[in-house]
């Protein structure tokens, strides 16, 4: 009888099973880890990866928010493409051969609703298709059959996937239930490791809650493995910003610790919000402001994460990708922002990445209208397909069955 | 584990705030869950009127259980499908088990469809007090009649109930009263009558082994007739000697009697027992533990139990006035008592059904109706509360075992199962022949005051389902992480509002309806996974 556990620590929801069951599938890419960074709200790709090649067209489409040409960060070997000046760390990663940029990522008939577009990205669906399962959930279901009944077991004693910083992602939804667990609150993660009681017990209800929480941690086998893995790592990179300054960095710090601590968890999800920049996305100085701050955090977090993975000696095991539910409109609006758009660039990073820019700078008609969007060059599922086949080494047929179609892989993985 | 701060509020009449929190507290303790309709209804009354209505309202007795149990192996030749089986002439190996099962599901259905009354909760209280087990009683009609007896006296007179249960077939069978004869006395009932049912084992109870023997002798003579399914008093089996009681009973002697009149000795025994003040204190403590909190400290004993017990005696063991006094008190409504109990499995399962407004099939689909009642009842049984079959004569441990009490409901086995149950209710529900019970998250949200506002939707959902508050960070996380798909800031709220409104005005937009449904499912699944949901 499977016993499915919720977890009741505040901010941590764990799910585990009671009956261990041996699984003997040999998985040669078992040590490879994928980190998905979700940028919620729809990132303005055109101000993230800037088409220097067509700078005049870029500037005239959005003169109130355009980054000055001389401020754009240059990429070695790709003169026509540059990065937002808030991301010097990503520039360095690119130049060091650890960052790949895929241009124009979207899907046919893009949807402009946050919720629907997010579901499409997370479930890996066509625009007109509603899927009950997530793309990562389908992969994990294929790789680890009979989850959760037969888990944890000797071959896979750890959570299949971990989400940090939020509660439930449709990406991890399996056929029956979620394939992952959530550490929604980084503080409670540290409380768990430190055996800190999450709540005082001086009230009647508080006393009952403390007992229920204690019971949930005791009975959850994953709480134990997570604690053990985390405790193996006593020192991490000193480049991390102070806790709370950069929530994405806080989340990735936990990921690095768990990977280095030996968890066999395959997929981690982290996220940051705030990309829905309809108004005032820049200051008068267009290199600063709301969007610049977000990109600076993204860049800082990815860089310190990479640094930490190298420090911990596991950087060869981890590849990450960023994504957002859509890009934004080519033309800026009168409030100094951008409205919901279509295609946008995706970053893929890690030691195992083949660095470079895949695809062309976006082009658009000379007579631009407010409704014009950046055209798709690559289906987002081609990136998933690449990560599954080249990083997780699934065969072509399995990849196609997870993604429900064939998507030719891109040259992203070295 | 540290002891919580004691509370000192008295038994005096509560005259404070009367808002959702207070009404829901009263309803969760006196009914199974606090439904939106009941909460709104009682919000319009005063605390006093609300309690009086819960205690005093008279609802008709439910119709008896019916034959929904014909299957491929058995068709009841005496009782038509859908007809009352309690009038059946005979019991055998084929029908008895099916009828016992039917009885238990029927009872579960009465809780799930309860009237606006304390009655059903009191039936459970008395069942846990005057325990019988269907497995031991082993006759469906006895089990049913015992349940009817409890319901009839649920809010009536305790002394009358003790007298009636003493000669009730299910109890005679369960505690061997039917086999208690002058030649071979069986002390089982004579003991439990004192130890568990009346004077108890508290500090004020000093009955002796000789009192057990004396009571057993008084009780000799009851028999069970398996042709008429009734109990009778047989003077030939009755011990006609005098029965000497101990100093605890003031050395009282019950004079031995002969013939049919000898049954009057039992009346005298009940009078004798009820002449001890400890009876009133014992029952008031048990009521307190069932309705308020598991631990009774010295202050509570003096300030709450003692005055209640005095009232109980003054009112000649009428239950209603004592319950009214307790439930109207400042002590009961002290906010420190909100969420201080862990839901019993019956509170957990029936409460979920009621608070989410689940509807079971109608009586014309009795097979599906009883089948689904049974499925959910089995969930409560898996959570260690199998109605009709408590673990032993003392009842469920969680109601009496020091020092854990209701914490015993939560174990490494039952905690995951509680979550599997709520997950299943939110995901697929339970089904029988195409009929289904499960949570409709859109319907639930639509009944809240402002489902279009993500902050209010979450705050009102928490209020509707929890007895305690959640920290603001938790509410915020649910909003951004679940309802807003990671979008942050006030400026993003309208994305939820638009999706919700579109769901109401453009139901043909399936993708949007799917989005809204999934978000609400995730929200309610999460709310029911947090430990706060275990409390009431």
Which residue in A has a C-alpha nearest to residue B411's C-alpha? Answer: A215
- The per-residue DSSP string of A159-197 comes to -SEEEESSS--GGGB-SSSBSEEEE--HHHHHHHHTT--
Same domain, residue pair B368 and B418: yes
The pLDDT value given to residue A223 = 86
Contact A251, A234 (CB under 8 A): no
Q: How far is A23 from chain B (nearest CA, A)?
A: 23
The pLDDT value given to residue B515 = 92
Same domain, residue pair B421 and B450: no
Instruction: Check the CA dihedral B172-B173-B177-B181 and report its sign.
Output: positive
Q: How far is A312 from chain B (nearest CA, A)?
A: 30
Q: Which residues of B touch A7 (CB under 8 A)?
A: 529
Q: How far is B62 from chain A (nearest CA, A)?
A: 36
CB contact under 8 A, A185 and B473: yes
Q: Which residues of A touch B2 (CB under 8 A)?
A: 201-202, 207
Q: Distance (Å, rounded) from C-alpha B524 to C-alpha B533? A: 11
Q: How far is B339 from chain A (nearest CA, A)?
A: 5
What's the mean pLDDT in B154-171?
Answer: 98
CB contact under 8 A, A273 and B412: no
Closest listed residue to residue A101, CA positions, set A372, A364, A360, A286: A360
Q: Which residues of B touch A116 (CB under 8 A)?
A: 511-512, 515
Q: How far is B340 from chain A (nearest CA, A)?
A: 4
CB contact under 8 A, B416 and A177: no
| pLDDT confidence bin for A25, thresholds 50/70/90 | very low
Residue B256 lies in a domain: no
CB contact under 8 A, A207 and B534: no
| B403-413 tens-digit pLDDT | 999 999 999 89
* B431: pLDDT strictly greater than 70: yes
Which residue in B has a C-alpha nearest to residue A184's C-alpha? Answer: B477
Domain boundary among B386, B407, B439: B439
Residue B209 lies in a domain: no
Q: Which residues of B touch A208 (CB under 8 A)?
A: 339-342, 406-407, 534-535
Domain count, chain B: 2
Q: Which residues of A touch B416 (CB under 8 A)?
A: 3-6, 18, 219
| A285-315 tens-digit pLDDT | 999 999 999 999 999 999 999 999 999 999 9
Same domain, residue pair B455 and B511: yes
The CA R_g of chain A, rounded to the nearest whole Å, is: 22
Q: Distance (Å, rounded) from C-alpha B521 to C-alpha B36? A: 19
Same domain, residue pair B452 and B389: no
Q: Distance (Å, rounded) from C-alpha B490 to C-alpha B380? A: 42
What's the mean pLDDT in B403-429?
Answer: 94
The pLDDT value given to residue A134 = 96
Contact A225, A16 (CB under 8 A): no
Q: Which residue has the higher pLDDT, A9 or A41?
A: A41
Distance of alpha carbon A94 from its chain centroid, rounded?
A: 18
Same domain, residue pair B403 and B349: yes
What's the mean pLDDT in B212-240?
Answer: 96
% helix, strand, coil for chain B, step of 5: 55, 5, 35
Contact A97, A412 (CB under 8 A): no
Q: Which residues of A touch B484 (CB under 8 A)?
A: 114
CB contact under 8 A, B480 and A210: no
Number of CB atoms found within 10 A of residue A324's CB: 27
Q: Distance (Å, rounded) from C-alpha A10 to C-alpha A207? A: 15
Which residue in B has a C-alpha nearest to residue A133's C-alpha? Answer: B518
| Residue of B487, B503, B522, B533 best to disrupt the A interface, most CBs of A under 10 A | B487
Q: How far is A215 from chain B (nearest CA, A)?
A: 7
pTM score of the predicted model: 0.91
Q: Which residues of B touch A216 (CB under 8 A)?
A: 415, 531
Largest CA distance in chain A: 70
Q: Distance (Å, rounded) from C-alpha B197 to C-alpha B395? A: 11
The pLDDT value given to residue B486 = 83
| SS3 (DSSP) at A104 | strand
Query: Residue B117: phi, psi to the nearest 5?
Result: -155, 155
C-alpha distances in Å from residue A9, one per residue of A28, A46, A148, A220, B332: 35, 41, 21, 11, 29
| SS3 (DSSP) at B114 | coil
Instruction: Check the CA dihedral B522-B528-B532-B536 and report its sign.
Output: positive
CB contact under 8 A, A118 and B485: yes
Q: Distance (Å, rounded) from C-alpha A383 to C-alpha A105? A: 9
Instruction: Check the CA dihedral A183-A187-A193-A196 and report its sign.
Output: negative
The pLDDT value given to residue A4 = 33
Number of CB atoms found within 10 A of residue B126's CB: 21
What's the mean pLDDT in B209-225?
Answer: 97
Q: What is the ipTM of this complex?
A: 0.94
Residue B42 lies in a domain: no
* A6: pLDDT strictly greater than 70: no
Question: What is the residue range of B513's domain?
Answer: 442-534
Same domain, residue pair B431 and B350: yes
| pLDDT confidence bin for A199, thresholds 50/70/90 | low
CB contact under 8 A, A219 and B473: no
Q: Distance (Å, rounded) from C-alpha A188 to C-alpha A8? A: 11
Residue B457's contacts (CB-CB under 8 Å, 6 or more residues apart) are B445, B448, B450, B451, B483, B496
CB contact under 8 A, A13 and B526: yes
Q: Which residues of B touch A202 (CB under 8 A)?
A: 2, 4-5
What's the mean pLDDT in A177-203?
Answer: 80
Of A177, A274, A278, the CB nearest to B488: A274
Of B415, B473, B531, the CB nearest to A209: B531
CB contact under 8 A, A212 and B534: yes
Residue B357 lies in a domain: yes
Query: In residues, how long is chain B?
Result: 536
The pLDDT value given to residue A29 = 53
CB contact under 8 A, A167 and B417: no
Task: Name the H helices within B328-383.
Answer: 330-333, 345-355, 366-382
Residue B8 lies in a domain: no
Contact B85, B65 (CB under 8 A): yes
Residue A283's contacts (CB-CB under 8 Å, 6 or more residues apart) are A289, A292
Same domain, residue pair B471 and B433: no
Same domain, residue pair B411 and B448: no
The pLDDT value given to residue B419 = 92
Contact B8, B303 (CB under 8 A): yes
Residue B426's contacts (CB-CB under 8 Å, 6 or more residues apart) are B438, B439, B441, B521, B524, B525, B528
Of A168, A170, A218, the CB nearest to B526: A168
Same domain, residue pair B429 and B488: no
Q: Return the beta strands (E) in A249-365 as ranges.
A: 267-272, 318-323, 344-349, 356-358
Task: Name the H helices within B401-491.
Answer: 414-427, 441-446, 454-465, 472-478
Same domain, residue pair B456 and B435: no
Query: Residue A50: phi, psi to the nearest 5?
Result: -100, 130
What's the mean pLDDT in A35-52?
Answer: 98
Q: How far is A169 from chain B (nearest CA, A)?
A: 8
| SS3 (DSSP) at A149 | coil
Same domain, residue pair B409 and B376: yes
Domains of chain A: 12-403 (3.40.720)
CB contact under 8 A, A204 and B339: yes
The pLDDT value given to residue B522 = 94
Closest listed residue to residue A86, CA positions, set A291, A393, A227: A291
Residue B203's contacts (CB-CB under 8 Å, 6 or more residues apart) are none
| B333-368 tens-digit pLDDT | 999 999 999 999 999 999 999 999 999 999 999 999
Which residue in B has a C-alpha nearest to residue A17's C-alpha? Answer: B416
Instruction: Check the CA dihedral A129-A134-A139-A141 and report its sign.
Output: negative
Q: Distance (Å, rounded) from C-alpha B217 to C-alpha B187? A: 8
| pLDDT confidence bin for A167, thresholds 50/70/90 | confident
Contact A329, A316 (CB under 8 A): no
Burial class (CB in 10 A: 0-12, 13-18, 19+), B322: buried
CB contact under 8 A, B529 and A278: no
Closest listed residue to residue B457, CA positions, set B514, B534, B522: B522
Residue B471's contacts (CB-CB under 8 Å, 6 or more residues apart) are A10
* Angle, in degrees to the nearest 10, between helices B319-327 and B20-30: 150
Q: Which residues of A touch B473 (CB under 8 A)?
A: 185
Query: In residues, how long is chain A?
Result: 414
| A356-375 tens-digit pLDDT | 999 999 999 999 999 999 99
Residue B405 lies in a domain: yes
What's the mean pLDDT in B13-25?
Answer: 97
Which residue in B has a C-alpha nearest to residue A272's C-alpha? Answer: B486
β-strand pairing of A49-50 with A78-83: antiparallel
Domain boundary among B439, B474, B500: B439
- The per-residue DSSP string of B41-85 comes to HHHTS-HHHHHHHHHH---PPPPPPB----BTTB--SSS-TTSBG
Q: How far is B412 from chain A (nearest CA, A)?
A: 5
CB contact under 8 A, B491 and A276: yes
CB contact under 8 A, B423 and A204: no
| pLDDT confidence bin for B455, thresholds 50/70/90 | very high
What's the mean pLDDT in B490-511?
Answer: 92
| pLDDT confidence bin for B40, thresholds 50/70/90 | very high
Q: Distance (Å, rounded) from C-alpha B303 to C-alpha B292? A: 14
Residue B480 lies in a domain: yes
| pLDDT confidence bin for B177, thresholds 50/70/90 | very high
Residue B501 lies in a domain: yes
Same domain, residue pair B352 and B368: yes
What's the mean pLDDT in A197-216?
Answer: 84
Q: How far is A204 from chain B (nearest CA, A)?
A: 5
Q: Which residues of A touch B421 (CB under 8 A)?
A: none
Distance of alpha carbon B88 from its chain centroid, rounded?
A: 28
* A218: pLDDT strictly greater than 80: no
| pLDDT confidence bin for A7, thresholds 50/70/90 | very low
CB contact under 8 A, A203 and B336: yes
Beta bridge partners of B342: B535
Closest listed residue to residue A7, CA positions, set A327, A151, A221: A221
CB contact under 8 A, B474 and A10: yes
Count of pairs with CB atoms under 8 A, one residue in A, one in B:
160
Q: Which region among A133-142, A177-186, B50-59, B181-190 has the lowest average model confidence (pLDDT)?
A: A177-186
Q: Which region among A84-88, A149-153, B99-103, B314-318 has the lowest average model confidence (pLDDT)?
A: A149-153
Which residue in A has a C-alpha nearest to residue B483's C-alpha? Answer: A115
Q: Distance (Å, rounded) from C-alpha B133 to C-alpha B381? A: 14
Which residue in B has a C-alpha nearest to residue A121's C-alpha? Answer: B485
| pLDDT confidence bin for A176, thresholds 50/70/90 | confident
Beta bridge partners of A346: A102
Instruction: Check the CA dihedral B34-B36-B38-B41 and report its sign.
Output: positive
The pLDDT value given to residue A5 = 34
What's the mean pLDDT in B228-242?
Answer: 96
Q: Which residues of A touch B5 (CB under 8 A)?
A: 202-203
CB contact under 8 A, A212 and B293: no
Q: What is the DSSP letter of B294?
A: S
């Amino acid at each position: 009888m499977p016993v499915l556990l919720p977890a009741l620590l505040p901010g941590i929801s764990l799910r585990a099973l009671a009956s261990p069951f041996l699984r003997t599938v040999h998985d040669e890419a078992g040590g490879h880890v994928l980190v998905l960074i979700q940028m919620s709200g729809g990132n303005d790709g055109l101000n993230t990866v800037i088409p220097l090649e067509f700078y005049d067209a870029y500037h005239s489409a959005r003169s109130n928010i355009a980054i000055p040409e001389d401020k754009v960060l240059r990429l070695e070997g790709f003169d026509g493409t540059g990065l937002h000046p808030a991301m010097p760390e990503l520039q360095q990663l690119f130049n060091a051969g650890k960052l790949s940029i895929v241009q124009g990522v979207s899907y046919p008939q893009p949807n402009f609703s946050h919720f629907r577009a997010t579901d499409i990205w997370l479930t890996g669906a066509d625009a007109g298709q509603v899927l009950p399962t997530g793309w990562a959930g389908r992969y994990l279901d294929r790789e680890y059959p009979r989850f959760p009944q037969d888990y944890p077991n000797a071959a896979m004693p750890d959570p299949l996937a971990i989400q940090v910083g939020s509660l439930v992602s449709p990406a991890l939804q399996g056929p029956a239930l979620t394939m992952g667990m959530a550490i929604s609150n980084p503080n409670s993660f540290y409380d768990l490791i430190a055996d800190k009681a999450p709540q005082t017990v001086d009230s009647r209800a508080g006393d009952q809650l403390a007992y229920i929480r204690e019971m949930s941690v005791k009975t959850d086998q994953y709480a134990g493995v997570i604690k053990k893995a985390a405790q193996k790592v006593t020192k991490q990179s000193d480049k991390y910003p102070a806790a709370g300054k950069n929530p994405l960095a806080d989340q990735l710090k936990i990921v690095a610790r768990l990977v280095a601590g030996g968890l066999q968890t395959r997929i981690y999800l982290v996220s940051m919000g705030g990309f829905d920049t309809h108004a005032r996305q820049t200051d008068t100085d267009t290199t600063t402001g709301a969007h610049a701050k977000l990109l600076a955090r993204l860049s800082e977090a990815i860089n310190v994460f990479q640094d930490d993975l190298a420090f911990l000696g596991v950087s060869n095991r981890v590849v990450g990708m960023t994504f957002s539910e859509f890009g934004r409109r080519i033309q800026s609006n009168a409030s100094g922002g951008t409205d919901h758009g279509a295609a946008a660039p995706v970053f893929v990073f890690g030691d195992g990445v083949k660095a470079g820019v895949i695809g062309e700078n976006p082009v658009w008609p000379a007579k631009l209208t407010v409704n014009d969007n950046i055209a798709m060059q690559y289906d987002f599922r081609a990136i998933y397909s690449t990560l599954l086949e080249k990083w997780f080494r699934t065969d072509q047929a399995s990849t196609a069955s997870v993604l429900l179609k064939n998507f030719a892989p891109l040259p992203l993985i070295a | 584990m540290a002891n919580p701060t004691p509370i000192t509020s008295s038994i005096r009449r509560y005259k404070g705030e009367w808002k959702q929190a207070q009404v829901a507290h009263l309803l969760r303790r006196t009914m199974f869950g606090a439904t939106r309709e009941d909460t709104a209804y009682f919000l319009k009354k005063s605390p006093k009127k609300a309690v009086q209505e819960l205690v005093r309202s008279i609802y008709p007795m439910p119709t008896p259980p019916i034959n929904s149990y014909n299957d491929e192996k058995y068709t009841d030749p005496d009782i038509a499908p859908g007809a009352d089986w309690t009038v059946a002439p005979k019991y055998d190996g084929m029908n008895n088990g099916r009828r016992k099962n039917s009885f238990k599901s029927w009872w579960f259905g009465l809780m799930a469809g309860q009237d606006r009354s304390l009655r059903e909760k009191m039936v459970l209280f008395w069942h846990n007090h005057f325990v019988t087990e269907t497995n031991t009683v082993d006759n469906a009609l006895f089990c049913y009649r015992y349940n009817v007896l409890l319901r009839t006296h649920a809010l009536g007179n305790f002394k009358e109930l003790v007298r009636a249960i003493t000669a009730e077939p299910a109890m005679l069978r369960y505690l061997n009263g039917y086999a208690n004869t002058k030649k071979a006395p069986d002390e089982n009932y004579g003991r439990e009558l004192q130890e568990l049912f009346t004077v108890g084992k508290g500090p004020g109870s000093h009955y002796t082994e000789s009192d057990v023997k004396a009571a057993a002798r008084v009780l000799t003579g009851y028999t069970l007739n398996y042709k008429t399914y009734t109990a009778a008093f047989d003077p030939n089996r009755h011990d006609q000697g005098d029965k000497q009681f101990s100093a605890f009973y003031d050395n009282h002697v019950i004079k031995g009697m002969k013939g049919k009149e000898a049954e009057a000795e039992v009346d005298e025994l009940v009078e004798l027992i009820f002449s001890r003040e400890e009876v009133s204190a014992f029952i008031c403590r048990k009521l307190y533990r069932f309705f308020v909190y598991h631990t009774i400290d010295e202050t509570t004993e003096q300030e709450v139990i003692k005055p209640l017990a005095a009232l109980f005696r003054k009112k000649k063991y009428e239950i209603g006035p004592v319950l009214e006094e307790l439930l109207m008190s400042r002590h009961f409504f002290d906010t420190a008592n909100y969420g201080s109990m862990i839901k019993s499995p019956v509170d957990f399962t029936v409460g979920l059904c009621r608070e989410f407004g689940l509807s079971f099939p109608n009586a014309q689909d009795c097979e599906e109706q009883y089948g689904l009642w049974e499925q959910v009842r089995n969930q409560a049984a898996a959570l260690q509360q199998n109605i009709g079959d408590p673990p032993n004569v003392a009842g469920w441990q969680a109601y009496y075992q020091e020092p854990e009490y209701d914490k015993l409901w939560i174990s490494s086995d039952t905690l995951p199962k509680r979550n599997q149950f709520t997950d299943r209710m939110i995901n697929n529900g339970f089904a029988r022949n195409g009929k289904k019970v499960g949570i409709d998250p859109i319907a639930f949200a639509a009944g809240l005051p402002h489902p279009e506002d993500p902050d209010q939707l979450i705050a009102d959902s928490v209020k509707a389902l929890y007895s305690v508050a959640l920290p603001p960070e938790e509410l915020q996380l649910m909003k951004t992480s679940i309802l807003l798909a990671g979008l942050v800031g006030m400026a993003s709220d309208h994305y939820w509002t638009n999706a919700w409104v579109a769901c109401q005005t453009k139901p043909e937009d399936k993708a949007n309806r799917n989005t809204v449904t999934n978000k609400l499912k995730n929200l309610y699944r999460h709310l029911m996974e947090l430990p706060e949901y275990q409390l009431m």
